[in-house]
Amino acid sequence: MDKSIDYKSKIRRARICRWITIILVYSILLIPLTPILLMVTWLVAQSISKGPTMGVIPNGFTLENFKFLWAPIQFGLSRYPSIWPLVMNSLILAFGTTAFEIPVAALAGYVLSRMEFKGRMATMKLIVALHAFPGVILLIALFYILNRMGLYGKGLLTLVGVALIKAGLGVPMDTWILKGFFDGIPWDLEWAAMVDGSSRFQAWRKVLLPIAAPGISAVALFSFMGGWGEFLIAYTYIKRKEFYPISVFLYSVIGEFVYVDWGLLAAVALFYMIPVLVFYALAQKTLLKLQLVGAVKG
Amino acid sequence: MPSPLLSPSFFEKIIKRVKGFNFAVPLRIIRRMLPYIFIFPFFGYITLTWIGPVAITIILSFTKTQWTITRMYFSGLDNYFRIFSRDIFVFGALKVTALYVSSVLVINAFFSLLLAILVTYFVKDERIASAIRLVWLIPRITPAVIYALLWRWFIDPQIGLLNKILGLFSLPTPNDWLLTTPYSRILMIVVNGYVGASFGMIIYSAAITSIPRDLFYAASIDGASDLKVIRHIIVPLLKWPIFFVTVWQTLSLLSSYEQILALWAGGAGVARAAGVEVWALYAYSKAFYSAEYGYGAALSVFLVIIGLVFIVIFFKVFGFERMMQPSKVEV
């Protein structure tokens, strides 16, 4: 009898201990996240409220803030006739980055994965070294190159130049990831096609490319999001307002005025975030996997 | 009827048609050249955006280049003399950088280890665990400007929630988080800590997942508590990943300034007045706000050198294999 009571109390103590552990674990994991979750909730709430919200509950419901989609934008003294040219600039940046980055990286990744040549190992080491090297400290020298190439202060061309630089800084990492993708596809498949008489190019196009396509498009999507979210390089090199991407536009609005129309700002920010959120929802698994190779640099 | 796949290839057709010339030799040369042709765009691009700029940074640092970056006047070591003797802001930038790197590193390399252990070892449901990891990714995935905007709202004394939350615990509630010194630095550390935490968290999580389960079962049969499992199994096995993340994050923190620039918007003076101007940002603002490109380049040269030294350390200490798989665990 005595023993069984002792046994029961031991079980109870163990159970309490387990609950304490669980509470402790979840509070360490989740309490630091409250600010982040509050901020995201605020962004949505603020974009549909009439006045500034004090918390995360909308302050009266309105869609007035989203009028910027068809009407001119007015922030304090500065006025933009329409948001769509800015969207266009961001799209040019995003598409340009992808277009410059992916073909070069895919070719190099393929060569490194499938062909033997002198300096292959050295190239791979160089790529890993470049991946570790922080590209942002080269902005001054890149500005020199941009000037020398005649791409500075040329409006649309400058935008293309920014995409070129952004893509160049991403090339080593993407080459590395794509080499990994090609490595994952068994060589036998191409081998079989070539035994059947197709040329190396045919084997590449008909056999390898269809299998590698999902991987390549995932990497392309990553670099597209990189170009869409790009701020620092665009802010540094683009000085004319007509060629601002949305990020630089938002930054100029945040910096310039003391009084800010929070509702409008939140609505534009949310609009800018939508592609990121969609991408985030779609590519969760890839996101966690690619993070491992450092696809999003920290 | 032979299948189209079995038909002779394009080159062979030509060879048959043009007789009397041995095409095998040029073909062999082309085939041998092929890898170099394919990799050429890569090297061209790398030279344009990495190798060239490293060289240009070093060259620019020996010049007095102002206003127009393409017009260089060589001035020898003048920029370096200026950094070591005449520039009164250098010491401040150095101090802020030391504080920034060391504090954010604690979050990015060690707090993230705690997070990874908790989320991988204690959270049994894999769906909940990856959901938590994904939420931790939000600060990193959000575009820098939006992230800065969200913080701007959060710290706003009138409508933001930070001061209200702090008020509940009767903690200090400064009116201007951005410009009051101790608070602006705390803000800098926290804002960047959130961005970097997920990097370590994901690498460590992968490493912990790859530890053979038997070790945990054996330990629990032997009656080891969770704390003992962490102390004597997980942490020792994660030696290399921890080291990797620490070195990697040190390098990327030394050179990062995008979040600070985005949050302390409004030109050259703001970040300096707020006491959050790190070395990399100081170099940037010298070049792009004061248009002293030569001097900015000289300041950047230190970061370039640090970067190169770190890469040498990487290869010497970790070796190529470990760098490719940072979360590999050797039992």
Mean pLDDT of B251-269: 85
Q: What angle do CA A34, A39, A43 make, to 5 degrees?
A: 150
Q: What is the pLDDT of residue A296?
A: 41
Residue A202 C-alpha, separation from nearest chain B C-alpha, in angstroms: 10
Q: Do A229 and B134 touch (CB under 8 A)?
A: no
Mean pLDDT of chain B: 86
CA dist., res. B104 & res. B120, Å (int): 23
For A97, the token pair is: 């980055």
Q: What is the pLDDT of residue B5?
A: 42
- Give chain A positions within 8 Å (CB) of B3: 196
Return all residues near A272 (Cβ < 8 A) that are at least 6 apart. Answer: A90, A246, A247, A250, B143, B146
CA dist., res. B147 & res. B186, Å (int): 17
pLDDT: is B91 or B270 the higher one?
B91
- Identify the closest residue of chain B to A239 by CA–CA distance: B288
At residue A194, does pLDDT exceed 50?
A: yes
Give the three-state DSSP class for A49.
Answer: strand
CA dist., res. B283 & res. B290, Å (int): 10
Task: Give the global pTM.
Answer: 0.87
Sign of the four-CA dihedral B54, B56, B62, B65: negative
Q: A72-81, A243-252, B97-106 — which is least confidently predicted?
A: A72-81
For B260, the token pair is: 């600070």
pLDDT per residue as tens digits for the range A23-40: 999 999 999 999 999 999
- Give chain B positions within 8 Å (CB) of A175: 42
At residue B2, does pLDDT exceed 60?
A: no
For chain B, percent of residues with pLDDT exceeding 90 = 34
Structural domains present in chain A: 2-61 (no CATH), 80-292 (1.10.3720.10)
Helical H segments across chain B, by residue range: 10-17, 24-46, 52-61, 78-81, 90-105, 112-117, 126-141, 144-154, 162-168, 181-209, 213-221, 226-229, 235-237, 239-254, 258-263, 268-274, 279-288, 293-313, 319-324
Q: What is the pLDDT of residue B268?
A: 63
CA dist., res. A48 & res. B72, Å (int): 53
Q: Is A90 touching B (CB cutoff 8 A)?
A: no
DSSP code at position A143: H
CA dist., res. A295 & res. A293, Å (int): 6
Q: What is the pLDDT of residue B107?
A: 94
Q: Among A40, A108, A196, select the one facing B6 at the smallest CB separation.
A: A196
Task: Establish, for the pair of chains A and B, how many residue pairs have beta carbons separated by less than 8 Å.
Answer: 280
How many other CB atoms are found less than 10 A from the CB of residue B331? 9
For A150, the token pair is: 């005649």
- Give chain A positions within 8 Å (CB) of B39: 107-108, 111-112, 117, 123
At residue B70, does pLDDT exceed 60?
A: yes
For B53, the token pair is: 């700029």
Q: Yes or no: is domain B87-324 CATH 1.10.10.10?
A: no
pLDDT per residue as tens digits for the range B126-183: 889 888 988 898 898 899 999 999 998 898 888 888 888 898 888 888 888 888 888 9
Rg, C-alpha atoms of chain A:
26
CA dist., res. B299 & res. B93, Å (int): 11
Q: Are A174 and A105 in contact (CB under 8 A)?
A: yes
CA dist., res. B315 & res. B247, Å (int): 12
Return all residues near A222 (Cβ < 8 A) that are at least 6 apart. Answer: A174, A290, A295, A296
Q: Is A173 touching B (CB cutoff 8 A)?
A: no
Q: What is the pLDDT of residue B15?
A: 60
How many other CB atoms are found less than 10 A from the CB of residue B92? 15
ipTM, 2 dp: 0.88
Confidence of residue B43 (pLDDT cuts 50, 70, 90): very high
Q: What angle do CA A161, A166, A171 make, to 5 degrees?
A: 120
Listed residue (B185, B190, B152) closest to A251, CA to CA: B152
For A290, the token pair is: 């690619």
CA dist., res. B135 & res. A32, Å (int): 11
Q: Do B267 and A255 touch (CB under 8 A)?
A: yes
Sorted by where each begins, the domain ranges of chain B are: 1-39, 87-324
Residue B223's region, left for phi above 0, alpha for psi from -120 to 50, else beta, is left
Instruction: Supply the DSSP string of B235-281, one letter for each residue.
Output: HHHTHHHHHHHHHHHHHHHHT--HHHHHHS-SSHHHHHHHT---HHH
* φ, ψ of residue A109 in degrees (nearest 5): -60, -40
Q: What is the pLDDT of residue B58?
A: 94
Q: Do A42 and B161 touch (CB under 8 A)?
A: yes
Q: What angle do CA A15, B134, A247 make, to 5 degrees?
A: 150
Listed residue (A76, A31, A34, A32) closest to A55, CA to CA: A34
- In DSSP terms, which residues pair with A187 in a beta bridge? none
Q: Do B311 and A105 touch (CB under 8 A)?
A: no
At residue B187, does pLDDT exceed 90?
A: yes
pLDDT per residue as tens digits for the range A166-184: 999 999 988 988 888 888 8
Return all residues near A250 (Cβ < 8 A) that are at least 6 apart. Answer: A265, A268, A269, A272, B145, B146, B149
- The DSSP H or E segment spanning A78 is strand A78-80
Listed residue (A174, A178, A208) closest to A191, CA to CA: A208
Largest CA distance in chain B: 95
Q: Are B261 and B193 in contact (CB under 8 A)?
A: no
pLDDT per residue as tens digits for the range B273-283: 888 889 999 99
Q: Do B252 and A21 touch (CB under 8 A)?
A: no
DSSP code at position B169: T
Mean pLDDT of A213-236: 89
Half-sphere exposure of A137 (CA within 13 A, CB side): 32
Q: Do A38 and B154 touch (CB under 8 A)?
A: yes
